[in-house]
Amino acid sequence: MNAEVEVVVTGVGAVTCHGVGAGELWRAMTAAGTRLPDRPADPLALMDLPLINLVPDLDLPGLDPTSERATRFASLAAAEALADAGLDADALDAVRSAVVLGSCMGEPGVNERERGGQRWEPPFRLASALADELGLFGTALDVANACAAGGYALGVAMDLVRAGEADVVIAGGSDAYSRVALGCFNRLGAVDPERCRPFESDRAGTVFAEGAGVVVVESAAHARARGALDSGDGRVLSLDGVGWSCDGDHPTAPREDGEQIVRAMRRALGEPPYDVGCVVPHGTGTRLNDVLESRLLRRVLGAGVGAGAGPVPLYSLKALLGHAGGASAALGVVAGALILRHGVVPGNVPVKEQDPECEVWLPERAVPLGVRRVLVNAYGFGGNNASVVLAAADGSSSVGGSDG
């Protein structure tokens, strides 16, 4: 593997509870409105808090109406990302292409429609379905590292490009409503009865969300050869580094010392000083996660991550979208790309009262992006940790690594 191979992101696509498209996501980010969760139309969702932020029903031309929801989300987000990158099926067919998608639950719907008795279907077939739709015959890989899956998918994409096994990788994550997942979080007492409220003093858990985030990852050499780097408008970004690690300590809780979370962040950030202009945190709204991540961000980035001198703003994406499971890191990367492209960190969904143990800066008004570098964090059950760094593709930022 050649760690010196420059890897870039040339296109982005998104499907969220605010609608289809990265443009809709950016409009929601800049509006910073509060969205109350939905109750799924599922008569078998017999639980105290059947709350989730659902993607609006899709009935668009060109989509297979029989496909499952997570596959449809991934298909829409990938189509947008490819169009944004200026690539079509013929261009993909002419080069070494791959698909890598992260997901918590894959396609659970076919196995959850009834109480039982139907034939079980393998749920993790998102990547193969998308590859089949695009007519691709290269690597098609599903990653299931819980809520860090989308971050791991970006790491796999970077490794495929650096190893010379792919010129273009369609990478990201997608998750849809799962009665089993939501029921489990109800049993854990980890669903907030109001909405997803990261870093708030009285937060009471998280709220799941549907959605997909997909990016087009290429070698800079391939992007340059097809003229994608010629515009000079800042749309093409550097995939500066991906770090991943595993606590191996507890089924659901991170290690209290946070050593492996720190390792993932530092690996993604490369050599110090660890300069970033914005952090898109994991920030789920659970009691332990928000406090630990706040403490570890200050440890890695310094006291400036709080609202003191030279602060680093956080953009709390889950306050806007809810927790999209295995798609959350990929959506965080799409949001980070939009922040870099626009050069501004949007104001956060207002926090009623910030937890004093969460000493981070959550600006409620838009602030200019200083350092053109964004850190995205994702953590999942089983101690899975992933961090991704995006930067302006102008050679001004250091190159991080990918760490398994």
pLDDT in tens, 72-115: 999 999 999 999 999 998 899 899 999 999 999 999 887 887 76
Measured CA to CA, the distance from residue 78 to residue 98 in angstroms comes to: 12
> Which CATH architecture is the domain 7-225 placed in?
3-Layer(aba) Sandwich (3.40)
CA separation, residue 115 to residues 105, 244, 275 (Å): 17, 37, 51
208, β-bridge pairs: 52, 323
- The two beta strands, 140-143 and 52-53, are unpaired
pLDDT digits (tens, 9 = 90+) for 137-188: 999 999 999 999 999 999 999 999 999 999 999 999 999 999 999 999 999 9
Please say if the pLDDT value at position 231 is more than 80: no
CA angle 267, 300, 154 (to 5 degrees): 35
Q: Which residue has the higher pLDDT, 120 or 343?
A: 343
Which residues on adjacent β-strands are paired with residue 386? Answer: 244, 378
Task: Determine the angle formed by the axes of helices 22-31 and 328-342, rounding to 10 degrees.
Answer: 80
DSSP string, 111-159: HHSSSS-SPP--S--HHHHHHHHHT--S-EEEE--GGGHHHHHHHHHHH
pTM, two decimal places: 0.94
How confident is the model at residue 249, as a pLDDT?
78
Closest CA to 239 of 127, 123, 376: 376
Side chain identity at 318, as an amino acid letter?
K
**Domain 7-225 shares a fold with domain 241-403:** yes
- Residue 210 contacts residue 324 (beta carbons within 8 Å): yes
DSSP 19-38: EESHHHHHHHHHHT---PPB
> Phi and psi (nearest 5°) for 205?
135, -165
Considering the chain, what percentage of its residues have pLDDT values greater than 90?
78
Six-digit token pair at 309?
């001198």
265 exposure class (CB count in 10 Å sphere: 0-12, 13-18, 19+): buried
CB 52 within 8 A of CB 323: no
Q: Does the bond joining 251 to the residue before it have cis omega, within 30 degrees of 0?
A: no
Q: What is the pLDDT of residue 310?
A: 60
Phi, psi angle pair for 164, to nearest 5°: 75, 15
- CA angle 371–377–379, rounded 5-degree value: 170
The pLDDT > 70 percentage for the chain reads: 91
- Domain extent listing, the chain: 7-225, 241-403
Distance, in Å, from the CA atom of 144 to the CA atom of 326, rounded to the nearest integer, reads 7
Confidence of residue 58 (pLDDT cuts 50, 70, 90): low
DSSP classification of residue 396: -
The tens digit of pLDDT for each residue in 256-272 reads 888 999 999 999 999 98
CA–CA separation, 151 and 330 (whole Å): 6
Q: Which residue in this structure is represented by tokens 């990852």?
A: 217
- Split at pLDDT 50, 70, 90, the class of 403 is low
Q: Is residue 241 predicted with pLDDT exceeding 60?
A: yes
Domain spanning 241-403, CATH class: alpha beta
β-pair partners for 113: none
